Chain A
Amino acid sequence: MANVARAFVTTEVISVSDLAAAVRSNTSGAVVTFSGDVRDNDHGREVSSLEYEAHPTAQNLLEKVASEIAARHEVLSVAVAHRHGPIPIGESALVAAVAAKHRKAAFDACSDLVDEVKAQIPIWKHQVFADGTDEWVNCA
């Protein structure tokens, strides 16, 4: 049974290398990381600023999703962090790291982890466009 090294929501900068270090061990032969970064564009429009809002249950649910991924895949350790509040263009909003003995399990689990976070965690993205208009993403 794999362990969950880290699972947290934060308003601070998330370090990909910190999460990679948290999952790495002498028994792991593969570490896969993912960084979901804030883009300066969305469906062809220039994004000038972006902010995420997290529901109070987001922390607990993130821990639950990380545990599910750790149990479901042949991996050794899992870490995941989601940032909220205003995030500058180019910085990480979501970071995941998975260590496994072999690369395929690490890639698969990391991809699954990111998919589950996007589907299950009550976090919302608000973006302001260069023309001054704004939107809550996924809620036309």
Chain B
Amino acid sequence: MAVTVRFYAAARKAAGISEIQLEPASAMQLLDRAVEAHPNLAQVLPQCSFLLNEVALHDLSTQVLDGATLDVLPPFAGG
């Protein structure tokens, strides 16, 4: 089992991939592992907001459980 981390827009460009699978961990640990695997993410992540199973996540110490999805959203630019 694993969790899915999905990257959108500029985060996907920085990662070079749209999603990765990782072992369950806290959101912060997952993001650290994502940066280890895809170092260019480090430039984008400080500007990003996050969704856990499509709900806003403000506390990155939250555990992301098996089967969950963590979304990485760069600053919005609609309109």
Inter-chain contacts of A122 with B (CB < 8 A): 8, 73, 76, 78
Cα(A58)–Cα(B52), bound, Å: 15
Task: Give B6 Cβ to nearest chain A Cβ, in Å.
Answer: 9
Size bracket of the A interface: 20 to 34
Size bracket of the B interface: 10 to 19
Cross-chain contact B8 with A124 (CB below 8 angstroms): yes
A24 at the B interface (CB under 8 A): no
A-B contact pairs, 29 of them (CB 8 A): A53-B8, A53-B9, A55-B8, A55-B71, A56-B54, A57-B51, A82-B78, A93-B78, A93-B79, A94-B79, A114-B79, A117-B78, A119-B76, A121-B76, A122-B8, A122-B73, A123-B76, A123-B78, A124-B10, A124-B74, A124-B77, A125-B77, A126-B9, A136-B74, A136-B77, A138-B76, A139-B10, A139-B47, A139-B74
